[in-house]
């Protein structure tokens, strides 16, 4: 499906890619689409303007049905696709196999599927531990996805007691 979306081409900038991560409020999608509909009315080319408005309206109707963003986020692709010299509007709503890491809105002559394609690539999984004076963190990284497994915090006593003439000097040395 990702390869099929990558092959889609359109006339003008009427192909919209919308990547929404899990932590995004559904109302943000509606606000963005409403704002872009207002901006699309200023497009000079009549054909391109109508195609963009049609695609944004389709996304807006579909987004109203999203009450909760899925755990991995949602990817929405909509636009007028040219196949075999015929134009046809297509709308694809996909829940990715791994969590989306960033919010993205793009309006171009092709769908942007780079982030979905990167999810399909096999990545090794690495674990790492970060230790500092305030605690420890255990995490894994796979591709560009970082997952915190556990975090410990500690409050260690300082090496010097406060007070006396040495307190300002210790304060300067500490920072």
pLDDT digits (tens, 9 = 90+) for 28-78: 888 999 999 899 888 898 888 898 999 999 999 998 888 888 888 999 999
How are strands ordered across the β-sheet holding 125-132? 125-132, 135-142, 145-153
Which among 14, 15, 34 has a CA at the least distance from the CA of 113? 15
- Alpha helices, DSSP H only, in the chain? 2-7, 26-40, 46-63, 114-120, 166-174
Tokens 């497994």 belong to which residue?
149
pLDDT digits (tens, 9 = 90+) for 82-141: 888 888 888 999 998 888 888 999 988 888 888 888 887 767 889 999 998 788 999 998
2: its two tokens: 């990702």
Residue 66 per-residue DSSP state: -
Residue 44 per-residue DSSP state: S
């Amino acid at each position: 499906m990702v390869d099929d979306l990558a092959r889609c081409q359109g006339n003008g900038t009427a192909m919209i890619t919308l990547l929404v991560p899990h932590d995004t409020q559904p109302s943000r999608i509606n606000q963005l689409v409403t704002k872009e509909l207002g901006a699309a009315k200023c497009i000079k080319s009549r054909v391109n303007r109508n195609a963009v408005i049609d695609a944004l309206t389709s996304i807006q109707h579909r987004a109203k049905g999203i009450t909760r963003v899925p755990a991995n986020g949602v990817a929405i692709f909509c636009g007028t696709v040219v196949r075999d010299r015929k134009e046809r509007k297509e709308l694809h709503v996909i829940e990715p196999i791994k969590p989306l890491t960033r919010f993205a809105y793009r309006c171009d002559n092709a769908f942007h599927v780079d982030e979905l394609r990167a999810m399909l690539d096999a990545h090794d999984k690495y674990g790492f531990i970060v230790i500092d004076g305030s605690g420890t963190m255990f995490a894994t990284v796979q591709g560009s996805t970082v997952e915190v497994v556990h975090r410990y915090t500690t409050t260690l006593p300082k090496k010097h007691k406060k007070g006396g003439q040495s307190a300002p000097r210790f304060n300067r040395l500490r920072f």
